[in-house]
Chain A
Amino acid sequence: MNEKLDPLSDLVRGALETERARAPSAEQVARLAGRLEATFGAATAAAGAAGAAHVAGKTAGVAGGKVTGALLGGKALLFAAGVAIGGAGGATLHAKLAAPRVIEVTRVVEVKVPVPAEPVAEPAVPVQAPAPVVPARAAKPLAQSGLDTERLLIEQATAALGRGEAAQALEACERHAAKFPTGQLVEERESLAIRALVLAGRRAEAERRAAAFRARFPESMLRGVIDAALGE
């Protein structure tokens, strides 16, 4: 085995140092955090008795930062009220997240964000106007590929659920079910549909669908999401 590698030139090593300091915009991080919370928040909230998950450590070559948001009781409704950035170096990004209506905030989610030690050309903060985190992406054309179309429908359902719009979420799930009855994102669709039914107050239907889900996907990682939505 030849484990000897030619060393990188000084020019490239310097460039890679610069690349390591790359940081995604705070807006982008907050948006993705919102989508992840909308998708997985209920499950992880159920397991979140230990409080916010915040693991110490730094990304090599970049300063540590964090985005802080609020996860709203099991339904993962996330709306950004604004994002502000502190000083360079150990900067803290603080995304204030608030509900569209009064719902008790049950815990805080912290998201670590690499922050560059030097200015970048496209500073994306502060965000001035309140903007919804979950549905922020513009819709893409439906015809790219089967998986892309599936993903788009699931995102629409996720975004609607994030906005607390159960009917719209269910509609997106039904469209997915009609177009992709055995698609790659069936588990995600069923999980979202069950949560939407719970949100709509259609508990009996939610429980029937959950029972079918458990029978069909006994090993699914999304069972926790469903259990949490049903309060089990």
Chain B
Amino acid sequence: MSDGGAEALFRAAYTEHLGWMLNTVRRLGVRPADIEDVAHDVFSTAWKRLDTYSRERAMRPWLFGIAFRVVSNRKANRSGQEQLEAEIDDARGEAHRPDELLEAEVTRRQVLAALDALPVDQRAMFVGADIEMTPITELAETLEIPLNTAYSRLRLGRQRFEAAFTKLRQEVKR
């Protein structure tokens, strides 16, 4: 698809969904320092794959599927040493955060921390269904997995998230 309609559609995609995409890749586990790069990669991939988008469908689930694959590939391609360096970088970043964060921001950080307890496939289902509020059937289609698998991943993801988040909250109260 290389007609003007496709190009206008693509512009609509990234103007409408740019801010959402930055949030989404962060929720999928991308480090703060990398979210712009990854969001850019997602839109670049979307541009190349625009012919796979059906205009009858909502744009966000389609973009979400691309984001999931970009993030998954990125994680898979990362060596242990790179992962370690990234974690050290993140730790340095955390050291500079203000002592008194607004409660909402503390909660958001706890949500992201709890999401780190989930494997990437469960994380994608949890983020898509319980944060983005995308219907499970649509997520299953987007992620190209059977509906049973989608439910299973979401169920496990919820359990892990509940446990991790509750533990984080209890640690803060101590």
Q: Enumerate chain A interface residues (CB-CB to B < 8 A).
A: 1-3, 5-6, 8-9, 11-12, 15-16, 18-24, 28-29, 31-33, 35-36, 39-40, 43-44, 46-50, 52-55, 57, 59-60, 65, 109-114, 116, 118-122, 137, 144-145, 147, 151, 187-188, 220-224
> Roughly how many angstroms separate A33 CA and B21 CA in the complex, as a whole number?
12
A5 near B155 with CB under 8 A, answer: yes
- In the docked arrangement, what's the CA distance between A44 and B2, Å? 11
Which of B19, B27, B50 makes the CB contact (< 8 A) with A221?
B50
B116 in the interface (beta carbon within 8 A) = no
Task: Say yes or no: A32 contacts B22, CB within 8 Å.
Answer: yes
Q: In the complex, what distance in Å separates the CA atom of A53 from the CA atom of B130? A: 29
CB distance from B46 to the nearest CB of A (A): 9
Closest residue on chain A to residue B161 by CB atoms:
A12
| B10 CB → nearest A CB, Å | 6
Q: Which of B1, B101, B165 is packed against the most chain A CB atoms within 10 Å?
A: B165
Which chain A residues border B162 with CB–CB below 8 Å? 8-9, 12
The docked-state distance in angstroms from the alpha carbon of A168 to that of B134 is 43
Chain B residues within 8 Å of chain A by Cβ, number = 65
Cβ–Cβ < 8 Å partners of B5 in chain A:
47
Query: In whole angstroms, how far apart are the Cα atoms of A2 and B11 in the complex?
Result: 40
How many angstroms from the CA of A2 to the CA of B146 in the assembled complex? 12
A31 touches B36 (CB 8 A): yes
> Mind listing 18 A-B residue pairs with CB under 8 Å?
A9-B166, A12-B166, A20-B131, A22-B26, A32-B39, A33-B14, A36-B43, A47-B7, A47-B11, A49-B4, A53-B16, A55-B16, A112-B15, A121-B104, A137-B36, A145-B79, A220-B48, A223-B2
Say which residue of B51, B104, B165 sits within 8 Å of A118 (CB atoms): B104
Cα distance A36–B35 when bound, in Å? 14
A33: chain B residues within 8 A (beta carbon): 14-15, 18
Which residues from B are CB-within-8-Å of A60? 132-133
Which chain B residues numbered 1 to 43 have a C-beta less than 8 Å away from chain A?
1-8, 10-12, 14-20, 22-23, 26-27, 35-37, 39-41, 43
> How far does the alpha carbon of A203 sit from the alpha carbon of B29 in the complex, in Å?
44
Q: Which residues of A contact B110 (CB under 8 A)?
A: 15
Whether B1 contacts A47 by the Cβ 8 Å rule is: no
In the bound complex, what is the Cα–Cα distance between A46 and B97 (angstroms)? Answer: 44
Report Cα–Cα, A120/B10, bound state, in Å. 30
Scoring B1, B2, B169 by chain A CB atoms within 10 A of each residue's CB, the highest score goes to B2
Q: Write out the residue numbers on chain B whose beta carbons fall within 8 Å of the beta carbon of A55.
A: 12, 15-16
Name the A residues within 8 Å of B20 (CB-CB): 59, 114
Is the CB of B54 closer than 8 A to any CB of chain A? no
* A15-B111 in contact (CB<8A): yes
Check: B172 CB closer than 8 A to any chain A CB: no
A110 CB to nearest B CB, Å: 6
Residues B18 and A1 in contact, CB atoms below 8 Å apart: no
Q: Which residue of A lies closest to B1 (CB)?
A: A221
